[in-house]
Amino acid sequence: MKNLSIYVHWPWCKSKCPYCDFNSHSYKQYDEDEYIACVLAELDRVYANLHDSQKSQKVCSIYFGGGTPSLMQAKSIGLVIDKIKSLFDLTDNIEISTECNPTSAEAQKMQEFASFGVNRVSIGVQSLRNDLLKFLGREHDASEAMQAIKYAFSAVKNVNFDLIYGLPEQKLEDWQSDLDYALKVGTPHISCYQLTIEKNTAFYNLYKNNKLIMPNVDTQAEFFNYTRKFLMENGYENYEVSNFAKDGFECKHNVNIWQYNSYIGVGAGAHGRYINAHGDYLATQNIKSPSQYVKAIKEKGLAYSKTEVLGNDAISFEMLLLGLRLKQGVNLTHLEEITGQNSDSFMNKQKLDLFLKEGLLEKSGDNLRLTEKSYHLLNQIIEELLV
């Protein structure tokens, strides 16, 4: 039986980073108890709306994302975990992750999080160069990041670093130094993201006015290829386009979602994908505004800004888009089970044969996956592959 994942969104940050397009809000004042009470109420309501087949699934991962979840009190995380335990059975090896920023990852808080069941911490390091951290609008400096890493490891064994490459003026030796430090402290998981310019961010306004010059495609490719080669030579598996892990430390939460298993999203702005009581495969998105989210939960029990019953075309697109990000690829049997259709009915057979012949795709058992030379062509391949 497939497992279920649960995502819990904490929408507040101390400040908004200029590159961030996530649902995060600079906090002035907020009522944490009120917000958490709404998250608990939403979990009850979503559970009631699930198909019986989903209610019987075990939860394999809980992920507290943001925003900056490390601003939460540990007791709040405990309340959410206890609520989930009251509704669902959990797998024996459940992964419970929380994102942390270095400025709010105090030693005592890390220990308290762990005492309530958190066993994985993801730290938004981004860089260990103070000039690049300043450019990124981060509140921490390199020494604070290193201290946060130490605190995280004192509480849990499974620690991830988020690092960003492809910054203006960033040199390859700067990037290599960051990776060297990650190896030195022994982090078992590293997420390496290329800086992208997203709409509705401060960086986008600078970029469109030619006040922010990004590295060219060749430079970005050089960083990407170097990262893969270096980390794989040092014992990390590039199990997803941007993620590297030691054996057994892959992020269970993200893998479960990339494999297109159902997940519930609660909290302001959270997304979900699950089978509802009517048997429909439902895509959900919550209201982004924290105050409006709270208002909606109090009035209606749910806070969806958008729901959509996904048809086979949408499911096929999402499964390919997510599954092909993984080294193991997309499982075509799983795709056919969900859609009830043969995969040939929604893939361009001529294009598929061409990509297989040219070595851009390969089949391994029931899985269709990218090859070494096509990682950077993911979006183009999916566009051409779907009928």
135-154 pLDDT tens trace: 888 888 999 999 999 999 99
Paired with 306 in beta bridges are: 285
Q: Please report where in the chains the tokens 């170097």 appear, as a residue.
A: 226
For Cα atoms 77, 56, 336, give the angle at the middle one, nearest 5 degrees. Answer: 110
Q: How confident is the model at residue 1 (pLDDT cuts 50, 70, 90)?
A: low
What tens digit of pLDDT does each residue of 299-355 get?
A: 999 999 999 999 988 998 899 889 999 999 999 998 888 888 888 787 888 999 999
Count of other CB atoms within 10 angstroms of residue 218: 7
Contact status, residue 271 vs residue 22, Cβ threshold 8 Å:
no
- The neighbour count for residue 296, using CB atoms within 10 Å, is 20
Facing residues of 12 across strands? Answer: 25
- 314's CB contacts (< 8 A; 6+ apart) are 283, 308
pLDDT score, position 11: 94
What is the structure's pLDDT at 329?
94
Q: Which of 74, 63, 95 is nearest to 270 (CA)?
A: 63
Candidates 168, 165, 272; CA nearest to 211 is: 168
Q: Specify the pLDDT at position 26.
A: 75
C-beta neighbour count of 266 within 10 angstroms: 27
For the chain, what is the mean pLDDT? 92
d(CA 169, CA 213): 9
Q: 332 or 14: which carries more pLDDT confidence?
A: 332
Spatial contact of 7 and 265, defined as CB atoms under 8 Å apart: yes
State mean pLDDT over 102-108.
88
- Look at residues 371, 312, 378 and name the one whose alpha carbon lies nearest to residue 341: 312
More confident residue, 137 or 235: 235
Contacts of residue 239, defined as CB under 8 A and 6 or more positions apart, other chains included, come to: 245, 250, 255, 326, 327, 328
**What angle is formed at CA 337 by the lines to CA 335 and CA 342, rounded to 5 degrees?**
70
The pair of structure tokens assigned to 160 is 């991830």
Residue range 172-185: average pLDDT? 95
Per-residue pLDDT at 46: 98
Looking at residue 387, its pLDDT comes to 67
pLDDT on residue 13 = 85
Strands, sheet with 361-364, edge to edge from the N-terminal-most edge strand: 330-331, 367-370, 361-364
- What is the set of domains in the chain, with CATH numbers? 4-257 (3.20.20.70), 328-385 (1.10.10)
Burial class (CB in 10 A: 0-12, 13-18, 19+), 197: middle
**pLDDT at residue 347, rounded to an integer:** 86
Taking each continuous run of H as one helix and of E as one strand, the counts in the chain are: 15, 17
Contact criterion met (CB below 8 Å) for 252 and 95: yes
What does pTM read for this prediction? 0.94
**pLDDT value for 124:** 92
